Each structure stands twice: as structure tokens, then as C-alpha cells.
Amino acid sequence: MTSHSQPELLGLDIQELAALVQGLGEPEYRARQLYEALYRQRAASLESVSTLPEKLRRSLSGHSLGLPRIERQYSSSDGTIRYLIAFADGQSVETVWMPEGDGGEAGDGSSAGDEEETKSGKNWRRATICVSSQVGCAVDCKFCLTATLGLQRNLSAGEIVGQVLAVLNDRGARIAEDRINLVFMGQGEPFLNYENFTKAVRLLVEGARIPASRMTVSTSGIVPRIHDLGQEAVRPKLAISLNASNDDVRARVMPINRKWPIAMLLEAARSFPLRNRERITFEYVLLDGVNDEVAHARELAELLRGLRAKVNLIALNPGPGIDFGTPADARVRAFQQVLIRAGIPTFIRRPRGRDIFAACGQLKRTVAEEPLVQLQP
């Protein structure tokens, strides 16, 4: 919970909204209208919700809509935008917009569809939003800038949802027409804010109509919550931030490994109920001279043997105060080839927004430093 002066509507589910409007003497169907306005129509204010009678809008005036404010945004040369999003108590997190499908950016020409998008002022076909679940993070991964913040507080379900809605509004996205993917990989460990995170997922699926199949949640390895997620009726796909092929290295770079070592983590992964054609993603940040040897790749291949899995390799995105180096491209490719030869689908994740501290592991609410590109109003 956050200490806001007014109770917020964003974050309430349909049952909670029904109790609210009925308590104000209104019929239950008004809850559905309010629910649609909040999550489907992404209303910016109560006054703009014309489906509700003026009397009800006045009765709700003691409530805040709860849509967070975009305080700043930084634009990358690759089209990525890093948003600094502020909440009512003055705390803030970062949310990242990563557009895809710009024919001009890819350098592969334009189709007729691309030309239509350009005429309408839109240069993307699909996009991914990287969402935060906490202000800061308590997990203390040694290669991650967010870890240097420590944990400030959990985000409410409304604040998690609000990030997505605020960014969609800013980019003019249309859920019914645009392919929007969500990755819960921003600031914080989602499974240490499990109830709010899972409620936010349900609201985004049932309210905003973003399919769960287009969502992925990344965990550093909170084993009990991996088991819990597998039992959820509505859930994203699972990604596990592994980052090492043995306990000695993983405990060095991820202290959480001392509580839930690799054997326990992989046992949870093997028991996770996968849907048809679904794989668990293992994320592996490559640190020069630490976990990027061919021998490490062979160890990793053995660990993942028999799992329906894929691996995303991420060459370290550097940042101030991070005492690790980024491996050479040749080392990254050699690591990938070992896994591919072992039959494990393995991809090298292209860094997005590295020049504005928006890439994986770089989110630190960077506002004190000079921006690396022009700050957008």
C-alpha cells in the first residue's frame, strides 16, 4: 500500500468497483462502465468518462483516478524510450518502450503497410513495454544498476498497471490493432511483490485486453513463487535470470543463490506446468572472464538437458559502479554455439536503449546525471 491522500480507482478489480458504486447508491452495471473506462479506454480523468452520470462522477470525486505521471522521458538512437514515471507519494520508477518493425530503422526497405503507418505518423508495427514492480530492488545482483538503489517499497497493482497505461497513452497505441508485449523485467523482483504483481496481470488481461501470452515475467529465482505462478489461472510466461552455470559463480554475482541454489531452482523449473509450445526462458548475462567461458557454456547445457527451455544471452550492459566487463562479441558467439550444438535454442539479445541507460540491468532512475541524448519534454 502507498500513502496517498486519496484512495485510487486504478488497481481495483470489477468486484471492488461494484462494491464501491453500490455503496454510492448506484446500480452494479455502473461498475462495468467504470472498469471499461479505466482499463480499456485508459481515461485520463474522471471528468472525461462520459458514460458515467455527472452525479456519480461527483460522488467519486473523493477518489483519485490513479494514473501515474510521466515526469521525464529519454529517447535512444534506436527508438527506445526510457520513461521516468512518478507516483502520488513522490516515488518514481522507470518503464521502457521498445518499438519494433520500423522498416526504415531496420534498413530492409518499406512495405505498403509501412507507408501507411508513416502517413499516419506511426513508424512501428509492434512494441514491448518493460514494466517495473518495485521502487528499487532488494535482490542485490552485482551486475545490475537497480541493485544500487536498494528497495524503497513495493508498487501497488494500480501503479504497475498505471505504468503500462501511461506509456500506451503517450505512444497512441491501440490494443485491438497493435501487437503490444509486456515484460516484467524492470526495477524490482516481481515475485517479492507477488500479490500486487499477479493482480496487475489479471487487470491487464481482463481489463486492458492484453493477452497473457504476450507477457513474460522474469525472476531472479524465488523458488516458492515459481511454484505459485504455475498454479495461476491467468499468468505470463516465465523467464529465470540464471547468469551462471554453477553455484560458486552464481552466489558471487547473485547472493540470492545462497537461499535457493541452482539445483532447487531447476527442480522448480522442471515441475513448472508449461502450456502447449511454451518454453521457459533462461536469461544469462555474460560477464567478461567470470561466466563466459566455453566450459561454462558446456556446464549450462548439461544443467538444461531435458528441459523445454530457451536461452537469452545478454552481454553485460555497463554502468557506473558495476565492477564487471562486457565480453567481446566473439566470446558471446562461441558461448551461443556450444548451446545450439547441444540442441538448446539460444539467442543473443540485442541491447536496446544502452545509450540512455534503458538496457537490461541499467534502470536506476537516472536523473542526476546529464542525459546521453536530448531530454524530451
Q: Is 116 annotated as a binding-site member?
A: no
Q: Is 110 annotated as a binding-site member?
A: no
Q: Is 241 annotated as a binding-site member?
A: yes
Q: Is 192 annotated as a binding-site member?
A: no
State how far the Cα of 372 lies from the Cα of 351, in Å rounded to an integer. 16
Residue appearing with cell numbers 535457493: 260
Name the catalytic one among 26, 94, 159, 299: 94
3-state secondary structure of 96: strand
Give which of 153, 155, 126, 157 is closest to 39, Cα–Cα: 157
CB of 163 within 8 A of CB of 197? no
CB of 197 within 8 A of CB of 190? yes
Q: Is 188 annotated as a binding-site member?
A: yes
Q: Backbone phi, then psi, for 247, in 5-degree steps?
A: -65, -35
Is-catalytic flag, 206?
Answer: no
Q: Is 141 annotated as a binding-site member?
A: yes
Is-catalytic flag, 94?
Answer: yes
Name the catalytic one among 130, 159, 299, 360: 360
How many CB atoms are closer than 10 A to CB 53? 13
Q: 3-state DSSP helix/strand/coil percent for the chain, to nearest 5? A: 35, 20, 45
Residues 6+ apart with CB under 8 A from 233: none
Give which of 7, 39, 357 is closest to 208, Cα–Cα: 39
Q: Is 218 annotated as a binding-site member?
A: yes
Cell matching residue 133 = 514492480
Give which of 360, 311, 340, 289 is closest to 147, Cα–Cα: 360
Q: Is 130 annotated as a binding-site member?
A: no
Cell matching residue 81 = 524510450
CA distance to 154, 183, 238, 365, per residue, from 193 (Å): 6, 15, 16, 19
Q: Is 75 annotated as a binding-site member?
A: no
User: Which residues are known to be catalytic?
Assistant: 94, 360
The annotation places the binding site for S-adenosyl-L-methionine at: 188-189, 218, 241-243, 317
Report the binding-site residues: 137, 141, 144, 188-189, 218, 241-243, 317
Q: Which residues carry a binding-site annotation for [4Fe-4S] cluster? A: 137, 141, 144
